[in-house]
Amino acid sequence: MHIRPVKSLRGEVRIPGDKSISHRSIMFGALSEGITEVTHFLRGADCLSTIDCFRRLGIDIEDTTDRILIHGKGLHGLHAPESVLDTGNSGTTTRLIAGILAGQPFTSTLTGDASIQKRPMERIMSPLMEMGADITSLNGNGCAPLRINGGRLKGIHYHSPVASAQVKSCVLLAGLYADSTVTVTEPALSRNHTELMLASFGAEVTSRETTVSIQPHPRLMGQKTEVPGDISSAAYFIAAGLLVPHSEILIHNTGINPTRDGILRAAKAMGADIRQLNIREVSGEPVCDLLVTSSALTGTIIEGSLIPALIDEIPVLAVMAAFAKGTTIIRDAAELKVKESDRIETIVTSLKAMGADITATPDGMIIHGGRQLHQAEIDARGDHRIAMASAIAGLCAQGGMILPDTGCIAVSYPDFLKDLEDLCVRDS
Ligand code: S3P
């Protein structure tokens, strides 16, 4: 795939549903009584993996063109799967489902693709084992495949060493099956979709600062839910609209939950002109339309508690920083190393290949922006966010960008390249 440079970007885009919320809608719908109806569900490969796993656990899930219908069977309605549960490339599916499976009266095995089989699962095995779960990494390396002998669980107060919504959510979901309250405290607040959505399905969840508690054995009831647009997908258009001169893009229906809106805060610190229009609520989540206008960006520091609120946007923020004037420092982001790829390495390698002045650090990177970037062939290493961030860099690089692997983009945004092309204004 050759991404060609553009003159400007103009128009409107409707981004797909939020990946995190789409996963949770299937999981919580499955554990509820009655039907859960989900609109604007993200049909990306990751969320389809979640659907597949719950079908294997005995849940009837209908996918009509405009909605997903989940015929929930309540907290105790899952059946033992007849085969291994394959979570594909999805860390969220793997870690959240593990918490649910730990509380079931049957044994199951979870595995995923080559990337999933390298990602750390001790971070969920350790709290689940503290709750009394019997869970084994079959290759003895702390990664999937995992065998989970579900059973009785006890309440704990878990102090997570990482600000991770996947870890927090895994423990909270296991907490649905525990014998007493389960509490999680994290070092910084990670995305809180599990807390908001589980409460709307009927769970008793209380949150205060970075601590959240859940009461066991609630009666969850099916809901009608609309998934807001994914700010992590909007991020590519935000960056493109800011970087490409003479651009103006209206991004409809973007989730702006404060635990996810770090990209907006970082971009504004860099001098971005982004206006939030028509702020409203969709299924308990704040949403708006974003009007993005080309801006001259300057370097910034991205660190501390801001990191969990923009963790998935760091690849595209690094692209913005490479075109900004001055230095950008990203730190406290060692979590990047355990994403779909080692993102410190993949970002630095890709931007260096294009001529950027960028250096990896143990927990982030330092980017001296402002160099003219040139064409390169970028190996996204099967990581959807690296592929999409590289495509945005290609719009502004001399000669564009060669991206041999665009298949991985389907993990979170199957129509990304088409939606991007629709906005492009080129010399005819
Ligand atoms: C997610 C949490 C984040 C994020 C991932 C989705 C979620 O991962 O990177 O894309 O839906 O809970 P961590 O919890 O590992 O930070």
Q: What is the mean pLDDT of each run of 10 residues along the chain (428 residues)?
A: 94 98 98 98 97 98 96 98 97 98 98 97 98 98 98 97 98 98 98 98 98 98 98 98 98 98 98 98 97 98 98 98 98 97 98 98 98 96 97 96 95 97 86
pLDDT of residue 426: 80
**DSSP three-state, residue 395:** helix
Q: Is the CB of 194 under 6 A from ligand 1?
A: no
> Which parts of 126-204 are beta strand (E)?
134-137, 146-149, 157-159, 182-185
* Predicted local distance difference test score (pLDDT) of residue 412: 95
Mutate which of 190, 342, 408 for ligand 1? The one with the most ligand atoms within 8 Å of its CB, which is 190
Q: Mutate which of 96, 100, 116, 164 to test ligand 1's pocket (most atoms within 8 Å of Cβ)?
A: 164
92 lines ligand 1 (CB under 6 A): yes
Residue matched to tokens 């920083």 = 321
| Ligand 1 pocket member 312 (CB < 6 A) | yes
Distances (CA, A) of 138 to 109, 116, 134, 147, 156: 9, 14, 12, 7, 26
Distance from the alpha carbon of residue 129 to the mean position of ligand 1, in angstroms: 21
**Residue 312 is a catalytic residue:** yes
Distance 210 CA to ligand 1 centre (A): 16
The per-residue b/e assignment along 206-239, b for 16 or more CB within 10 angstroms, e otherwise, is eeeebebbbbbebebebbebbbbbbbbbbbbbbb
Report whether residue 233 contacts ligand 1, using a CB cutoff of 6 Å: no
Is the CB of residue 226 below 6 angstroms from any atom belonging to ligand 1? Answer: no
Residue 311, classed as helix, strand or coil, is: helix
What is the per-residue pLDDT for 428?
Answer: 60
Q: Best substitution site from 20, 26, 90, 92 to test ligand 1's pocket, by max atoms within 8 Å of Cβ? A: 92
Q: Which helix (H) or strand (E) holds 314?
A: helix 314-323
Residue 33, burial from CB neighbour count under 10 angstroms (0-12, 13-18, 19+)? middle
